[in-house]
């Protein structure tokens, strides 16, 4: 049992890594009672945060994010969570201390935690600590065993920096914006500042400069790097995104077009579950899936899904489809689950990579594929680009 915080309307949820570590399956229940199977997208075990994903039937409401930069001793806070299985339990208290360092065991320790006397129990882990405005100011993470009303939360500003690494497009999709960014937060002053721009990269091509402040990306208002990274998820390297930028006291726009990453900015300690990077950290396999088939995919389990009598153990969910690609031409849509290519099942990224790198790929003619859509298993044939 645990709790999570919705950070993107497409179903991305942050929780503690220790909540999802080693589990066989994940089930998420939303406030309205709807239930979904979830999958782990990425995690940082050292910082004890994980990003999970559900395939919601409608856009989710994102929890309002506050800042921990102006928290005060004695400030009123509330914890919400799945305490001992009692869903949506709300407890209240105050900020008892700031900047606590806590060692839980030989392998897990935390720095700079918020201490609160709002009751935190098993099942609260990963849930929000709220201020009186209802804004998230922390992620509940630990209790002091044997003590009364001593609980701890990761300050939200620290958590958001970790979350930005977990949801970064370079980690999840093998694309890059070519910007080095800094979150600056002090009370109500919150902004995302460009520290530097990679020469020849997408940011430079868009005319973005150091010291620019990014205010909006597409339809997403940006206050930190999490907002920018999530706004860029699912965008191809041919699709420009409009950025609203503050520069020299004025506001201007820039057209940013992502590029394929060469793997030079792999985040330390971040593990992408079902990722397609090879051991050198390059995004070659993921790039090839995008270039050859025209899809971005992530590994999913089919356990617990209502898919009729399908014999498949798992598959690769289609997260994005490139316009004009073989996948689009043959009717593959986001949300489909790719379960087979040619004569092999595609349960893992390595299965897909094996097929696309097979020396006899070009001799097979149109590549046969199998997908699950709803309760149906469908198949078709893709003509691959010349030279593949």
Active site residues: 18, 48, 125
Query: Which residue in this structure is represented by tokens 């001793």?
Result: 73
The structure tokens listed for 160 are 């958001």
- Cα separation, 195 vs 184, whole angstroms: 11
Q: Which of 379, 286, 387 is nearest to 330 (CA)?
A: 379
Q: Exposure of 375 by Cβ count < 10 A (0-12 exposed, 13-18 middle, 19+ buried)?
A: exposed
């Amino acid at each position: 049992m645990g709790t999570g915080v919705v950070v993107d309307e497409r179903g991305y949820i942050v929780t503690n890594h220790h909540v999802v570590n080693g589990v066989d399956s994940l089930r998420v229940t939303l406030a309205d009672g709807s239930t979904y199977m979830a999958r782990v997208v990425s995690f940082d075990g050292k910082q004890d945060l994980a990003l999970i994903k559900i395939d919601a039937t409608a856009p989710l409401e994102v929890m309002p994010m506050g800042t921990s930069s102006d928290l005060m001793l004695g400030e009123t806070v509330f914890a919400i969570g799945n305490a001992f299985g009692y869903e949506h339990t709300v407890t209240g208290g105050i900020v008892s201390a700031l900047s606590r360092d806590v060692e839980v065991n030989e392998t897990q320790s935390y720095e700079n935690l918020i201490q609160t006397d709002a009751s935190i129990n098993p099942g609260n882990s990963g849930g929000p600590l709220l201020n009186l405005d209802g804004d998230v100011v922390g992620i509940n993470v630990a209790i002091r065993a044997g003590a009364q009303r001593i609980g701890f939360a990761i300050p939200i500003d620290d958590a958001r920096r970790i979350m930005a690494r977990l949801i970064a497009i370079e980690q999840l999709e093998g694309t890059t914006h070519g910007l080095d960014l800094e979150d600056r937060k002090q009370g109500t002053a919150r902004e995302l500042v460009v520290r530097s721009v990679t020469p020849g990269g997408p940011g430079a091509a868009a005319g973005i400069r150091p010291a620019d402040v990014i205010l909006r990306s597409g339809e997403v208002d940006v206050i930190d790097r999490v907002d920018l990274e999530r706004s860029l998820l699912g965008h191809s390297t041919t699709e420009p995104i409009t950025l609203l930028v503050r520069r020299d006291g004025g506001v201007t726009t820039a057209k940013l077009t992502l590029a394929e990453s060469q793997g030079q900015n792999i985040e330390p300690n971040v593990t992408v579950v079902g990722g397609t990077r090879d051991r050198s950290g390059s995004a070659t396999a993921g790039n090839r899936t995008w270039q050859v088939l025209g899809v971005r995919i992530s590994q999913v389990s089919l356990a617990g899904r209502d898919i009729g009598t399908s014999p498949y153990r798992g598959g690769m969910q289609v997260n994005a489809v490139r316009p004009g690609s073989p996948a689009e031409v043959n009717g593959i849509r986001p949300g489909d689950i790719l379960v087979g290519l040619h004569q092999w099942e595609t349960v893992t990224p390595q299965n897909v990579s094996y097929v696309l790198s097979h020396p006899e790929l070009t001799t097979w003619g149109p590549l046969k594929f199998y997908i699950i859509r709803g309760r149906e298993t469908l198949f078709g044939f893709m003509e691959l680009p010349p030279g593949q």
